[in-house]
Chain A
Amino acid sequence: MNPFPHKHLLGLEDYTASDITRILDTAESMREVLDRPIRKVPTLRGITVVNLFFESSTRTRISFELAEKRLSADTVNFSSTGSSLSKGESLLDTVQNIEAMKTDVVVMRHRSPGAPHFLSKHISSVIINAGDGAHEHPTQALLDILTLRQKFGDLKGLRVTIVGDIAHSRVALSNIYGLKKMGAHVKLCGPATLIPRAAETLGVDITHSIEEAIADSDVLNVLRLQLERQEAGLFPSLREYQKYFGLTRTRLEKADKPLTILHPGPINRGVEITSDVADSEHALILNQVTNGVAVRMAVLYLLCGAKQES
């Protein structure tokens, strides 16, 4: 195989369908490692990965850390609480300092869109975007796509609707880029205040009716609704959201066939999704979590291997 054509994973916008397929294929092999009695291979021995989480995200950080450890990389964790950032040090200074300690890969979660792109212009490490504000969260989209590929074989023509707070979601944007490249039809569903302006320019359909979304989809990817959006005046109440946009068994039973349900977690049970739906056989939520480790292993493997070439 030719070397992987990217140095960083900043987002799926600049990845092609064949790049994505290569990550998914590699992730399938990685999943097999996760099923072994000794779930560890020596591939990234001697490589140091720093997990820089300027915003707390327990699951994504643990998933990356496990992926790194399964591949025998050395890992260091950094989270913004108690860090120098609160003392007025800039992002660039913080990262340059850490890199000066000789690291190879930076996995970064940051509240600011473009923060990993900004860093990539200033440091030489491989950068993996673990979520930048409301911009991209590429490994989340990759694990969603892997989960769908395992279930449906091919994403061509698959009708996927992303439900919820699209405007503030990095998961939505990366999913839109990734799913469309893989040939799926993407629809967005949510209250008008939570759909970004000009969303249709992303090449997606938009609906404000959960019933319509259910009727027209094979898959629903349900996003977490954050309470602070209510405080910002973007929707009236959780109660009303639940009533008009919540995913319930009663609503799903109206579909002529069972819909596959994804959720990036953490779930607000009883808000965007009810427990009986989240725990049903059609919800692949825990599958997504396992695939998350495999996908992150694949990304680390492919990007670290490409390193010498760049």
Chain B
Amino acid sequence: MQTQDFFQTKPTRLLHLKGARVVDPATKLDKVTDILIKDGKIAEVGFADDNPEAEKIELTGKMITPGWFDMHVHFREPGKEVAETVASGCLAALNGGFTGVAVMPNTSPPLDNAGIVGWVQAQAEPFPVELQVIAAVSKGRQGKELVEMAELCDSGVRAFSDDGSPVGSSALLRHALEYADMLKAVICEHAEDISLAEGGVMHEGAVSTKLGLPGIPSVAEVIGVVRALLLAEYTGAHIHICHISTAAAIEWVRWAKAKGIRVTAEVTPHHLLLTCDECTSFQTSTKMNPPLREEADRQACLEALTDGTIDVIATDHAPHPVETKEDEFIQAPFGIVGLETMLGLCLTHLCPKHLSLEALLERVVFAPRQVLGLPQPSITAGEEANLTIIDPDIDWTVNPEDFLSKSRNTPFAGWNLKGRAVGTISKGQCLMKGDRA
């Protein structure tokens, strides 16, 4: 599968991006101007004379930002290639405007050693996407023994997670934090008390009672988050809380940040925009873990996103084929895809109501890379071109059939959004969506 099948590719030997609004909070840049790219690097930011040799792209009315990064995706390879592969996941990321992703290790077998991590990295090689592997914390994700963290870090891993489950025991999480801190790596914790959540399929509350569906209580997340925070405090290590969803857990993160504990947190677009009321349709595209919560939780997520308690927006892109997802609610697997809807959802529903453009870019460009300790993109002469090109005014309707992901499981089908990625430039390649069929 090649990008040329889906995008118009432009050579970046000499590329002239004309007339877009260029926004880069890192360099306090926000103006309509041109960008000249030479051999994949930014040669000049500013109106440039027409060079007959340069490939020109007319971008009046469009917006250019540093490349977006989604630090929480599941690409299912190896093991569940019918749901997604690294290749299809990379295409979905590019289609959604992301130049970087971090893949979670809960594949089959799990990404728990340097060999398999290297294999996954190699699968992403042909695509202009910066693919960061988050390796498992424990061997086989069994929650018993630590993976060979140091060797994995040598292979380029910057973060570890047993996502899908919390780290098996408090002792193991403590040791993971200590060992990872020595390596300047981060533990990304799926914070949940399993014994409380077990058997549940949606948020426990009035709606689950009405539907007779077994509930996942919010306190299951709170206990998981508190455990993670206290161990981060005790070890002095950096913990990253994945997909936070409850008002109470957010309160604890706020407390921890005030206390100086090294914690960062992420939230998904669906927890910012949907509540468990959606489940009354029994549509399995509303089933994910953590589950959609109540309106008060959603408001708390928005507030924490605005005040900076939550650092990152990430999709928790969790593809499932129609064969397994189109089933009765209890039976269907948890998770929804998100790579190809997040940018539109953020621009339509979060910015500028809850976040300024600058703050939004902080949470989708810089913070995720900072959590993972990755170099930051910058729209400055001499830097590698790592850009997302956005049409901020386009009205479009989410149609899962148009996804480049192999899966279609989204609760946002039919949503009308304003703003969509139209291209990306990274790793020396420029991909533009356009006339190509």
Q: Which chain A residues have a beta carbon within 8 Å of chain B's beta carbons?
A: 13, 90-92, 110-115, 117-118, 132-136, 170, 173, 196-199, 201-202
Contacts and interface: CB of A to CB of B under 8 A. Distances in A.
A162 B330 CA distance: 26
A135 B206 CA distance: 13
Given A117-B282, A197-B204, A197-B205, A173 B328 contact: no
Contacts of A202: 206, 209-210
B212 A201 contact: no
Given A90-B327, A92-B326, A118-B282, A113 B209 contact: no
Contacts of A110: 328
Nearest to A170: B212
A197 B219 CA distance: 13
Given A132-B212, A134-B212, A135-B213, A113 B282 contact: yes
A137 to B, nearest CB: 10
Nearest to A196: B209
Residue among B211, B217, B323, B328 with the highest chain A CB neighbour number at 10 A? B328
A201 B206 contact: yes
Contacts of B327: 90-92, 118
Given A113-B282, A113-B329, A197-B217, A135 B204 contact: no
Contacts of B212: 113, 132-136, 170, 173
Given A114-B213, A114-B282, A117-B282, A133 B206 contact: no
A197 to B, nearest CB: 5
B331 interface: yes
A213 to B, nearest CB: 20
B291 to A, nearest CB: 14
A110 B211 CA distance: 14
Given A114-B282, A133-B212, A136-B212, A198 B328 contact: no
A198 B330 CA distance: 21
Nearest to B204: A197
Residue among B204, B211, B212 with the highest chain A CB neighbour number at 10 A? B212
23 contacts: A91-B327, A91-B331, A111-B330, A112-B328, A112-B329, A113-B213, A113-B329, A114-B211, A114-B213, A114-B282, A114-B329, A118-B282, A118-B329, A133-B212, A134-B212, A134-B213, A170-B212, A197-B209, A197-B217, A198-B204, A201-B209, A202-B209, A202-B210
A90 B212 CA distance: 22
Contacts of A198: 204-206, 208-209
Contacts of B328: 91, 110, 112, 114-115, 118
A134 B211 CA distance: 8
B282 A133 contact: no
Interface string B210-251: 111111010000000000000000000000000000000000
Interface residues of B, number: 20
B64 to A, nearest CB: 43
Interface in B320-344: 323, 326-331
Given A91-B328, A118-B282, A198-B205, 5 more contacts: A92-B326, A113-B282, A113-B329, A198-B206, A202-B209
A91 B328 CA distance: 8
Interface string B196-211: 0000000011101111
Contacts of A136: 212
Nearest to B207: A198
Contacts of B214: 134
A93 to B, nearest CB: 10
Contacts of B204: 197-198
B337 to A, nearest CB: 20
Interface string B79-106: 0000000000000000000000000000
A135 B330 CA distance: 12
A117 B213 CA distance: 13
Contacts of A114: 211, 213, 282, 328-329
A35 B214 CA distance: 42
Contacts of A13: 210
Contact of B209 (A91, A118, A199): A199
A133 B282 CA distance: 13
Nearest to B217: A197
Contacts of A170: 212
A112 B210 contact: no
Nearest to A197: B204
A135 B215 contact: no
Nearest to A137: B212
Nearest to B205: A198
Contacts of A133: 212-213, 330
A287 B326 CA distance: 41
Nearest to B323: A90
Contacts of B211: 113-114, 135
A135 to B, nearest CB: 3
